[in-house]
Structure 1
Amino acid sequence: MLDSVKISRRQSEIRQQLAELAAKPTPTEDETRSMDSLDLEYRTNETRYRAALIAEDTERREAGADLETRSDREYSELMARFELRQVAQALDTGHNLDGATAEIVTELRNAGGYRGIPIPWAALEMRNTVAAGTPDPISTRPIIDRLFPDSIAARMGAQMIQIDHGATEWPVTTAGATVGWQATEAGNVGGPTPFQTADRPLKPDHTLGVQMRLTRKAMKQTGSALEQAVRRDMNAAMQAELDRVTFLGTGSDGQPLGVITGQSAYGIALQEVDELATWAAFRAGVTAFMTANAASGPASINAMIRPELWDFLDGAIWDAGSGLTEWDRLSKHLPNAYTTSNGLAAPAGDPLATTALLTTSTGGIAPVFVGLYGAIDAIRDPYSDAQAGGLRITALATKDVTVARPAQLRVLSGLQIAAGG
């Protein structure tokens, strides 16, 4: 029992005894001494009660802070003990899962239906090992970053969201408060407009399949060899394709609609440059962001370009006297400029031209939402490689892409990197 509760109960008893003694018209000497003693104890208990409350409040705050982080910490520690080699052995030989792996798989199966063995997205994080070779999992970052820390989508500000099942919508304000001055002494201020929102849904309509072939030799290896090999293989394959469809998904043949491919459908502004690429073209896009109050300055804007465009800008001398190039000017004002050969289409046309993308986060809202549904469903195929004693695994992952506020993105097209023929 808390000390404050004990003291409070004692104070109630003292008040009751004092009330009985005070009701007597002629108390005896013993009763008078008892009243003095009870009064002194009551005043002392008041000080003790306040001290107990202060101490217990500190304990509650510390316990509350621990409870707020304990669940995530325990889950992270449990996820660090998930072993992909157990999944491979279970699919190959029917070996029973045990330990943390079995616990996580059971929870995932209870949350949704899977044909094979579910693998959590967080299990694909790249893990380091100590010199002795003993696995030493590192779990320090949130799931979004743990999955693909080098993802170009993450660098461009895309927010990856873990969804158990169903569809998720993001209401975005499209019309709201207005301001207006009172034109005359008796006139009204500007009339209000209805508060309106538009829903940006994420739906589990797009499933990606990744196939892995595990040889008999690989499956007989023990320790972290198979563990790290499977992680690297699945991580690289999924990261490349998920990055690509985030920006270049066609919206057909099972693919989600990518940001650049769906520029007009999402309502993203298109800036047609159609001339040799320079910092001035990017500066116009940055200015448009700041004019629309989407960005406070160039430092809050992310730029995604092709390696060929970087090569052209780095070779385009802006000032012969100082040797400054167009890339020097761009990188000075846009420190968050990233190159990719996966998220943007290769240069094409005559003259050869490419595309770039600018994004920014406004008010804590990411420019792009990427929904990852449930876990990765690993399904075994023991027949395709049966003659070689191997095992083929198909991993199914469901994903969708949507844009919350088109004003936070801008596509620059026609950035020429060569003269016309």
Structure 2
Amino acid sequence: MLDSVKIARRQSEIRQALAELVGKDKPTEDETRSMETLDAEYRANETRYRAALIAEDEERREAGNELETRSAQEWAEIMGRFQMRQVALALDEGRQLDGATAEIVSELREKGGYRGVPVPWEALELRAGETVASGTPNPIRTAPIIDRLFAQSAAARMGAQMINIGVGELEYPVTTSSVAAGWADGETASVAGPSVYATTDRPLKPDHTLGITMKITRKALKQTGDALEQAVRRDMNGAISEAMDKAVFLGTGANGQPLGVITGAATYGITATAVDAEATSAAFRNAVARFLTANAATGGGDVRLLARPELWAFMDEQQSILPDLTEWDRLLRTLPAANIMLSGNALAAPTGSPVASSALLTTSAGGVAPVFVGTWGAVDLIRDPYSDATSGGLRLTALTTVDLTVSRPAQLEVLTGLQHQAA
């Protein structure tokens, strides 16, 4: 029982006892002393009661925070025990799944249909302690599911929101009306309007399937042991991340690919500004100014830039009109370095004469992501029992359904014709 409740009950008992004593016309000496004792205890309990409430309020807040995060923590902990090695051996040898891996697979099967073994997105994360080309990653447990898998991807760094969908389609209604306020011109005049409040639906549809196939030799299965899990996870992570990044920006919308942001700029209604001149900081500063004018950003810190590495190399060599500053240095005065993403995968290679490339600027206005990337269910891991049967190898195919859509075109702008080589 809480201390405050105990004290409150005792105060009630004291008040009842005092009421009985006060009602007597001629109390005895013992009763008088009892009244003084009860009165002193009552006043002391008032102080204790306030202190108990303060202490318990802090405990309630801590308990509330624990209850809010407990389910997420428990889910992260059980996902941390998922073993890709068990999945590979189950597909290769028919070994029975057990422990957390079996529990997770069983739950995923209840939520959707899979031809093979469903693998949750969290299981593909690069966990601490695994050596990769860029060093040892240290993922944050509380990050979103897909963001945690592709924390370093261009899509995530450009503000795209990754969404995992169980079944069916998902639509995002976005306001597209131009409701405006107006002053009443006179005592009996009416205010402006009425204006139509309209929305446009931005659907995510399960029409695009991304897949990778990997071959694991019998020797690798017998030699690697637990290391097989890390190897499979790294390969799947890298392949899916690279393919999704490229599709988000350069997807053709044909041959099974979703329509990318840059390729489908006209379809999505995204502004495309042709620079057609040497790349300078002014071109990007003017784009930021257009975001500010459209109320899509409040400053350069709200804007993210995706550019080719060749563009950075060119601008870092170009002397600006300011002494001892290159054009890239001046760009960093407009956009923070943390908001700039250089990628040779998410943007098309430079072409033309003089050589030129494109760049993309995004902003998250009002907390709304500029791009939504949806994935359906879990990764479906399927074994091909025939292709490598003669060598005893294991061939795995991982399938996932992906789509993307743009939330508000005003939050994106494509700059084309950024030249970074003399004619």
Shorter chain as denominator, the TM-score bin is 0.7 to 0.9
Q: Residues 263, 45 of structure 1: CA spacing in aligned structure 2 closer, same or farther, 3 A cutoff?
A: same
User: Which stretch shows the higher mean deviation, 352-361 or 392-401?
Assistant: 352-361
User: Which stretch shows the higher mean deviation, 20-29 or 264-273?
Assistant: 20-29
- Which of 273, 282, 287 aligns to 1:271? It is 273
CA distance in 2, matches of 1:299, 1:42: 59
CA distance in 2, matches of 1:383, 1:325: 59
* Structure 2 length-normalised TM: 0.87
The Cα of 1:22 is off from its aligned counterpart by 5.7
The Cα of 1:280 is off from its aligned counterpart by 3.2
- Which of 193, 201, 204 aligns to 1:202? It is 204
CA distance in 2, matches of 1:73, 1:291: 43
The Cα of 1:212 is off from its aligned counterpart by 1.2
Tell me if the contact between 1:76 and 1:139 (Cα under 8 Å) persists in the aligned partners: no
Matches of residues 16-415 of structure 1 in structure 2 within 5 Å? 16-19=16-19, 38-129=38-129, 139-141=139-141, 142=143, 143-175=145-177, 177-318=179-320, 325-334=326-335, 335=337, 336-349=339-352, 351-415=354-418
| Number of residues of Structure 1 aligned to a counterpart in Structure 2 | 415
Structure 1 counterpart of 2:190, one-letter code: N
Deviation digits for residues 279-331 of structure 1 (CA, Å, limit 9, x no counterpart): 33333322211211212233332222223433444454545x95754444334
Deviation digits for residues 224-246 of structure 1 (CA, Å, limit 9, x no counterpart): 42122111111111011000110
CA RMSD of superposed structures (Å): 2.9
Deviation digits for residues 363-408 of structure 1 (CA, Å, limit 9, x no counterpart): 2222111112221111111211111110111111121111111111
Structure 1 counterpart of 2:252, one-letter code: T
Structure 2 gaps, min length 5: none
CA distance in 2, matches of 1:280, 1:137: 36
**Share of identical aligned residues, percent?**
64
The Cα of 1:345 is off from its aligned counterpart by 1.9
Q: Residues 137, 114 of structure 1: CA spacing in aligned structure 2 closer, same or farther, 3 A cutoff?
A: farther
The Cα of 1:152 is off from its aligned counterpart by 1.0
Q: Residues 191, 223 of structure 1: CA spacing in aligned structure 2 closer, same or farther, 3 A cutoff?
A: same
Structure 1 gaps, min length 5: none
User: Which stretch shows the higher mean deviation, 118-127 or 74-83?
Assistant: 74-83
Q: Residues 181, 404 of structure 1: CA spacing in aligned structure 2 closer, same or farther, 3 A cutoff?
A: same
CA distance in 2, matches of 1:372, 1:331: 34
Tell me if the contact between 1:80 and 1:139 (Cα under 8 Å) persists in the aligned partners: no
CA distance in 2, matches of 1:221, 1:214: 11
Q: Residues 85, 138 of structure 1: CA spacing in aligned structure 2 closer, same or farther, 3 A cutoff?
A: farther
User: Which stretch shows the higher mean deviation, 86-95 or 15-24?
Assistant: 15-24
Deviation digits for residues 47-70 of structure 1 (CA, Å, limit 9, x no counterpart): 433332222222212211222222
Tell me if the contact between 1:356 and 1:412 (Cα under 8 Å) persists in the aligned partners: yes
The Cα of 1:42 is off from its aligned counterpart by 4.1
Q: Residues 58, 238 of structure 1: CA spacing in aligned structure 2 closer, same or farther, 3 A cutoff?
A: same
Deviation digits for residues 56-93 of structure 1 (CA, Å, limit 9, x no counterpart): 22221221122222222232222222211111111111
Tell me if the contact between 1:80 and 1:137 (Cα under 8 Å) persists in the aligned partners: no
Structure 2 counterpart of 1:333, one-letter code: T
CA distance in 1, matches of 2:76, 2:319: 50
Tell me if the contact between 1:344 and 1:356 (Cα under 8 Å) persists in the aligned partners: yes
CA distance in 2, matches of 1:144, 1:181: 47
Tell me if the contact between 1:168 and 1:201 (Cα under 8 Å) persists in the aligned partners: yes
User: Which stretch shows the higher mean deviation, 356-365 or 100-109?
Assistant: 100-109
* Structure 1 length-normalised TM: 0.87
Deviation digits for residues 90-115 of structure 1 (CA, Å, limit 9, x no counterpart): 11111122222222222322332222
CA distance in 1, matches of 2:305, 2:40: 74
Structure 1 counterpart of 2:92, one-letter code: D
The Cα of 1:258 is off from its aligned counterpart by 1.0
CA distance in 1, matches of 2:34, 2:279: 96
**Alignment-derived partner of residue 2 in structure 2:** 2
Q: Residues 16, 218 of structure 1: CA spacing in aligned structure 2 closer, same or farther, 3 A cutoff?
A: same
The Cα of 1:20 is off from its aligned counterpart by 5.3
CA distance in 1, matches of 2:325, 2:63: 58
